[in-house]
């Protein structure tokens, strides 16, 4: 049930953005136990002035090719699973799309299961009474 937001520059073609989404989905399926068809993504392409980044942070230098990936998902994955997940996304984007690894920014937002409604105004994962 992850919800993925991908933000990147408009200088990248539309199909590039879709490929990033597919790489993220593949890593979710393979490394953090996301079921088939659980693919909810919003991909937004921005003008260069709409992506605000420092020249560097924590010794990592960024470029205008930066890709922001934010995944909201249920809490409970181990630190090791998250590390493998980050690496799989980075490796996939670097290998297939030739982006510098320094320009792949990933953020996880963990929530409780009751924080989701997949439609009909219902809490599909409501706690059992």
15-67 tens-digit pLDDT: 999 999 999 999 999 999 999 999 999 999 999 899 999 999 999 999 999 99
pLDDT at position 72 is 96
Asked if residue 1 has pLDDT above 80, the reply is no
> How far is residue 20 from each of residues 62, 66, 77, 96, 105, measured CA to CA in Å?
18, 12, 22, 9, 12
pLDDT at position 117 is 81
Sequential DSSP letters for 46-76: E-GGGS---SEETTEE--TT-EEEEEEEES-
What does residue 5 show for φ and ψ, rounded to 5 degrees? -115, 130
What is the tens place of the pLDDT at every residue in 82-99?
A: 999 999 999 999 999 999
Count Cβ atoms below 10 Å from residue 35 Cβ, excluding itself: 9
Identify the sign of the CA torsion 74, 58, 83, 5: positive
Find, among 36, 65, 79, 39, the residue nearest to 108 by Cα. 79
Taking residues 111-126, what's their average pLDDT? 85
pLDDT at position 115 is 85
State how far the Cα of 96 lies from the Cα of 27, in Å rounded to an integer.
14
β-pair partners for 74:
111
Query: Domains along the chain?
Result: 3-115 (3.30.429.10)
Predicted confidence band of residue 124 (pLDDT cuts 50, 70, 90): confident
Q: Cite the active site residues.
A: 2
């Amino acid at each position: 049930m992850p919800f993925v937001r991908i933000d990147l520059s408009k200088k990248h073609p539309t199909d590039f953005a879709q490929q990033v989404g597919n790489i993220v989905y593949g890593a979710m399926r393979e490394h953090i136990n996301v079921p088939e068809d659980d693919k909810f993504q919003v991909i937004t392409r921005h003008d260069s002035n709409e992506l605000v980044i420092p020249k560097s942070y924590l010794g990592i230098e960024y470029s205008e090719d930066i890709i922001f990936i934010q995944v909201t998902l249920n809490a409970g994955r181990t630190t090791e699973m998250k590390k493998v997940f980050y690496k799989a996304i980075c490796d996939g984007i670097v290998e297939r799309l030739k982006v510098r690894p320094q320009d792949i920014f990933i953020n996880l937002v963990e929530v409780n299961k009751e924080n989701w409604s997949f439609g009909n105004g219902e809490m599909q994962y409501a706690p059992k009474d």
